[in-house]
Amino acid sequence: MKNRKKITQSIKLELIKKSKEAALSAIQIFNNPAITFKAETYIVLMNIAWTYLLHAYYKDKNIEYRYYRKNGKQRRFDKTKHGAFKYWDLEYCLNSSDCPIDNHTKNNLKFLINIRHEIEHKMTSKIDDLLSARFQACCLNYNDYLKQFFGNKHGIEKHLSFSLQLSTISEPQKKLLEDQKDLPKNILGCIQDFDESLSEDEYNSQKYAYRVIFIPKLANHKGSADKVIEFIKSDDPIAQTVAKELMVIKDGEKKKYIPSQIVSLMNKNGFPRFSMHRHILLWKEHDAKNPANGYGADIAGKNWYYYQNWVDVVKEHCEKNANIYK
């Protein structure tokens, strides 16, 4: 029994070690300006890191994470042609009823798995910035669960510093998705389809995509600008000022909504019977996908995104037909 516990502990520690090595390699490669194949490498390595992390968790909890089939009361384990056991892949780990990961983190990982499936079959380019919010969320989520499972001593936060930027964030960067029309359509389609499948809360979760606002900081006195980034509470007077300034940026780029977000908004606003089918009928009635009407825009020739003025039209329609939708 003691030997068995020692073996289990040894395997768990080895899995943790390999998991951390994969995660750190992913972060270091993504932060390396000399490497151009960053996003693809990051996704593959973080997939490995999360897989080993969950294997270590299942090993620690004595949960079987090898593929097997039942033959009566006996288990027949799947093996490779050379006789090695086949262990759960990441998606199988996430779908297990024993998985301890929250749904927002699962969404982030399943998104990256979908992208990985796409890049397995076709070379990509220029997707680093497009996916950086998801990548940041992925490594922060990883560090949180690593410490939650096995203690703070295993945390890798000291390695999760922000990369130094050699250019300011310009107006063209705010239209990243629209401007990069040369990106592979399979990647853009994968991103848009996955985002559209999420609810508004899921899409806006920081565990799904970690989004922050950067503004230049003017120091009041010497020595007060030591930190490049400072985090402030939402009720801080500075935050209120930032919110007002942000309105200027929002005016420069219209907020976009996918159909499921609009339906979800109407449901939350007291119209639970407003459905996707009703939305389709409504946009057809108003010819909302005609660019001349100004209700939205076609992104990369694949998905249509709606503007706030269309959301207002939908809301007005629901209010006029409250007897149908309430």
User: For tokens 């390999």, what's the residue?
Assistant: 18
Residue 174: the pLDDT is: 40
pLDDT range class, residue 299, cuts 50, 70, 90:
low
Identify the band that residue 200 occupies on the pLDDT scale cut at 50, 70 and 90: confident
Q: Nearest to residue 47, comparing CAs of 14, 75, 19, 66?
A: 19
The whole-chain average pLDDT of the chain stands at 80
Tell me the three-class secondary structure of the chain, residue by residue.
CHHHHHHHHHHHHHHHHHHHHHHHHHHHHHCCCCCCCHHHHHHHHHHHHHHHHHHHHHHHCCCCCECEEEECCEEEECECCCCCECECCHHHHHHCCCCCCCHHHHHHHHHHHHHHHHHCCCCCCCCCCCCHHHHHHHHHHHHHHHHHHHCHHHCCHHHCCCCCCCCCCCHHHHHHHHHCCCCCHHHHHHHHHHHHCCCHHHHHCCCCCCCCCCCCCCCCCCCCCCCCCCCCCCCCHHHHHHHHHHHHHHHHCCCCECHHHHHHHHHHCCCCCCCHHHHHHHHHHHCCCCHHHCCEEEECCCEEEECHHHHHHHHHHHHHCHHHHC
| CA 315/CA 278 separation, integer angstroms | 12
Decide which of 228 and 118 is more confident: 118
pLDDT at 25 over 50: yes
Is 60 exceeded by the pLDDT of residue 169?
no
Of the CA atoms within 13 Å of residue 242, those in its CB half-sphere come to: 16
Band (23; pLDDT cuts 50, 70, 90): very high
Q: Is the pLDDT of residue 159 over 70?
A: no
**What share of the chain has pLDDT > 90, as a percent?**
42
pLDDT band at 100 (very low <50, low <70, confident <90, very high): very high
Does position 272 have pLDDT exceeding 50, yes or no?
yes
Tell me the pLDDT band of 160, cut-offs 50, 70 and 90.
low
pLDDT digits (tens, 9 = 90+) for 230-248: 555 556 666 666 555 554 4
Pairing status of strand 74-77 against strand 68-71: antiparallel
